[in-house]
């Protein structure tokens, strides 16, 4: 089917955070991510493919079609209008938000991680180390920002990501028995000396410029520092998260 003007306009609206939340849909773009969608639990509303696409992309489109998912085509100009990529790959899907589930397992809290690339990298790293639940707060980037989704390399489909309007209410309701460990440049406890005493805990990471917000600091059981052995002023937050997740994943 040919992509209509109205559907083109609708897809373009999903580049906006408010429109995504209103429609409860987001854009998944690129060959790899669309392939991963085929085996995910997410509900796909439709697929759009550029006309005169490669055999690989046409094959993916056929698989979506076999699942009774509408497949639309558009020319190169039309695809560039709906794409969020500098160099579009020629395939994207419109996907419904994940249905909320009860919180289980350990939690990663990201406070004010505003860069979509950093956010997506942390989600991907969390998936690697077996942490599948994240809470975004402060002015963190949108969980389904197209850049965030691409940076996850598919891990967004395997993680439960909460982004509530009121973080404190969420924590009080869902995490009353959690211990909270926060990465901080001013801490005195070293990461390697930190050993969780509870089976249920949350790891808190703040922005590189502002750290963990005061409203979250009061929940911390312990803060910790990743020791520096050189002269760099700070670590990129995604790198700090990766080092921390490696440490905690080895705690058994």
Q: What is the pLDDT of residues 91-109, one digit of tens each?
A: 999 999 998 788 888 999 9
Half-sphere exposure at residue 219, Cβ-oriented, CA atoms within 13 angstroms: 25
Domains of the chain: 5-96 (3.30.1330.30), 107-249 (3.40.1280.10)
Burial of 110 (0-12, 13-18, 19+ CB in 10 A): buried
User: Is the separation of the CB atoms in 162 and 170 below 8 Å?
Assistant: yes
| Residue 252 confidence (pLDDT) above 70 | no
| Residue pLDDT, tens place only, 186-232 | 999 999 999 988 889 999 999 988 999 999 999 999 999 999 999 99
Query: pTM of the full predicted structure?
Result: 0.94
């Amino acid at each position: 089917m040919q992509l209509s003007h109205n559907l083109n306009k609708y897809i373009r609206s999903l580049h906006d955070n408010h429109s995504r939340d209103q429609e409860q849909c987001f854009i998944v773009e690129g060959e790899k991510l669309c392939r991963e969608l085929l085996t995910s639990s997410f509900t796909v509303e439709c697929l759009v493919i550029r006309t005169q696409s490669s055999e690989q992309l046409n094959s993916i489109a056929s698989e979506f079609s076999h699942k009774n998912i509408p497949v639309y085509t558009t020319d190169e100009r039309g695809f560039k209008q709906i794409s969020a990529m500098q160099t579009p790959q020629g395939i994207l899907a419109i996907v419904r938000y994940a249905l909320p589930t009860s919180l289980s397992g350990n939690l990663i809290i990201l406070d004010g991680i505003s860069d979509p690339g950093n956010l997506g990298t942390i989600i991907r790293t969390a998936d690697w180390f077996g942490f599948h639940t994240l809470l975004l707060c402060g002015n963190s980037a949108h969980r389904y920002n197209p850049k965030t989704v691409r940076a996850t390399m598919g891990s967004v489909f395997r993680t439960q990501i909460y982004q509530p309007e009121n973080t404190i209410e969420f924590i009080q309701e869902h995490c009353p028995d959690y211990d909270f460990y926060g990465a901080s440049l001013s801490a005195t406890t070293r990461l390697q000396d930190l050993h969780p005493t509870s089976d249920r805990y949350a790891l808190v990471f703040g922005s590189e410029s502002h750290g963990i917000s005061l409203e979250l600091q009061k929940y911390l059981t312990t803060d910790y520092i990743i020791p520096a052995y050189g002269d760099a002023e700070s670590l990129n937050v995604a790198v700090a998260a990766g080092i921390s997740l490696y440490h905690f994943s080895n705690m058994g």
